[in-house]
Structure 1
Amino acid sequence: MARIFRRNLIFKEVFSISSNIQWFPGHMAKALHQFQNNVHLADIIFELVDARCPYSSINPEIRKIGRGKPHLLILTKADLADTEMTQSWVRWFRLHGYAATSVDSKNNLTSNQITKIAQQILKSKINSDHAKGIANKTIRAICVGVPNVGKSTLLNQIIKRRAAQVGNRPGITKGQQWLKSSRNLELLDTPGILWPRFQNESIAYKLALTGAIKDNLYPKDDVALFAIDFFRNHAEQNLAKRYRLTGDDLKLSRVDLLMKITKNAGMLQDFNRGSMRIILDARRGKLGNFTLDELSIAKSGLDNDN
């Protein structure tokens, strides 16, 4: 693998994050197994995906395990994503037969709203129950998503109390618990779950940049360089404004640009800190709203993708 050397720091010119990350620890395998054991208890799956990478954060293992089970995709953190892209992704999912909606921190999804969405998806089952004399049966939904997708925050909004731990790091939800949302809806909370193998490096970079992978599990410079490439191509002025970059700076190689950003941030040659600054700035919206997934990466459906 080609490498370039700068001031005693080694940067990979061609980098491979997927070979350097162990993102599927034992507790995650256990959580996936628990999901497999519990999914039959639910009427519907609520899968939360990050609106900044809505396609890449869909867990293919969940789709395999829950095949045939009614499924709602909820795009979270829409206030941090590109608004038009979020709307386009919701339309794409619906066009291809997948129920989908988006939420953000400003427009909370209420218990009544989510109940109505679930009732619409389960309309045939509810009508069948009514024909059998079963009315107003409580809908049970199992909630799943990648780590740090905002699942606990959303659940707390829906049930209007802090029943689920809230944090800004993956792994905060440790157990599985049923939560009473309303008279007609119960939710089974689950820990964040990734899958054993990412199909390409791009997925790994996107999940790392948006916080689904713990920060101690990947090389910071690799992800920062990925972020530099993305923002230079899609939001160059935001990058320049945030880090006081000139037009000439923006023409530098990504490695030299990382060094320049680190220096401008007052971190001298601490490139690990400089890399983490870029990653955190992206997550917190300091570089503007963004969506890493282009519609062009989607195929005709989800069953064989990711």
Structure 2
Amino acid sequence: MQKINWYPGHMKKTKELIQTNLKLVDVVVELLDARVPISSRNPQIDEIIIGKPKVIVLNKSDLANPKTTNEWIHYFKKSGINAIAVNAMNGAGLDKLTAELEETVKIKMEARIEKGMRKRPVRAMIVGIPNVGKSSIINKLTGKKSAKTGDKPGVTRGKQWVRLKGNIELLDTPGILWPKFEDQNVGLKLAFTGSIKDEILDIETIALRLIEYLCDKYPEYMKERYKLKMIEEDGLVNMENMAKNRGCIISGGRIDYTRIANVVMDEFRSVKIGKITLETPDDLESAMDE
């Protein structure tokens, strides 16, 4: 399998864009994939937003293990950061997000009024890696009849503020960050969840790595879904048994590895195997101890 790389040129440009517009916002929304909260965040984000108040949004919570999602929310809260689970496809959790944004900057807004400044909407910016649902969330938050509130001083030409439900304005900028793939496991997990296009990867190897993980962490799910009598130690043997049970066979009785690979990837992403989270707070704490 080829090495998955990150793009420092793109990263530098995006970092500068965010920093340029950061002074215009009151709060940052950091968007993560609820299935991979560690791998779907850029490790430089806190440095980039320079201590600006932040709310974490765990999107795609409908695809993740609800128990583990709650563990993540509790973990972030202990770290002094409020986190909310949402589903951008149906809008679940987004009302709670708008309320949380207002609460996060409540003291700042009250201080403005005490100084005799006029009341204004809360201004927010969303940052996140590609394919975690930024556009879907913005579309749900703004609604079809969202009104652009016009250019603000100091904003790069073409950037717009859009009014959200509630007293909130969103700076509609391409707040996209690429993660650093120094740890190849990060690249693998983003490939599992579809954040990296399948076309640039070896799908058979990616699927084998996913099978190995799922057979280790979710053996009962795998046995039930793929009619496995038992989980073997060798991941390739499990993959071959799954292929036989699904009829992924080509002439001569040989295993069709590409077909079973695509089946597993599709069924994982469509939650047919089960609601699965690939990273837990314990994983993060273990990595920090190493």
TM-score, structure 1 as length reference: 0.78
In the TM superposition, what are the counterparts of 1:265-304 in structure 2 within 5 Å?
Answer: 265-268=246-249, 269-299=255-285
Q: CA RMSD in A?
A: 2.8
- 1:151 to 2:115 alignment: no
- CA 1:119–1:227 in 2, change beyond 3 Å: closer, same or farther? same
Who is 1:261 aligned against? 242
1:220 aligns with 2:203: yes
Displacement of 1:47 after TM fit?
0.7
| Contact 2:37-2:58 within 8 A present in 1 as well | yes
Cα gap change, 1:263 to 1:192, in 2 (>3 Å): farther
Mapped partners of 1:272, 1:34: distance in 2: 41
Fraction of identical pairs, as percent: 32
Deviation, structure 1 residue 26: 5.5
- Amino acid of the structure 2 residue aligned with 1:147: P
Distance 1:40 1:289, change over 3 A: same
> Aligned partners of 1:119 and 1:159: how far apart in 2?
16
CA distance in 2, matches of 1:284, 1:176: 35
In structure 2, the CA distance between the partners of 1:183 and 1:290, relative to structure 1 (3 Å rule), is closer
Name structure 1 gaps, 5 residues minimum.
Answer: 1-16, 164-174
Q: 1:251 aligned to 220, 232, 236, which one?
A: 232
* Structure 2 spans left out of the alignment, 5+ residues: 147-157, 250-254
Separation of aligned partners in 1, 2:9 and 2:205? 25
Q: 1:31 to 1:287 in 2, by over 3 A?
A: same
CA contact (8 A) 1:74 1:100 kept: yes
Give the secondary structure class of the aligned counterpart of 2:164.
Answer: strand
2:213 is the counterpart of 1:230: yes
Tell whether the 8 Å contact from 2:65 to 2:275 is kept in structure 1 after alignment.
Answer: yes
Equivalence for 2:153: none
Deviations 1:110-138 (A, max 9, x none): 45x43321121112211210112224312
Residue aligning to 1:4: none
Compared CA separation, residues 110 and 257, structure 1 to 2 (3 A): closer
| TM-score normalised by L of structure 2 | 0.82
Preserved contact between residue 109 and residue 158 of structure 1 (Cα < 8 Å): no
CA drift at 1:28: 5.7
Deviation of residue 107 (structure 1)?
5.8
In structure 2, how many angstroms separate the alpha carbons of the residues matched to 1:272 and 1:257? Answer: 15
Q: Which residue of 2 aligns with 1:187?
A: 170
Instruction: Establish whether residue 109 from structure 1 lines up as the match of residue 93 from structure 2.
Output: yes
CA distance in 1, matches of 2:62, 2:143: 20
Aligned counterpart, 2:20: 37
Matching residue's letter, 1:277:
V
The code of the aligned residue for 1:297 comes to D
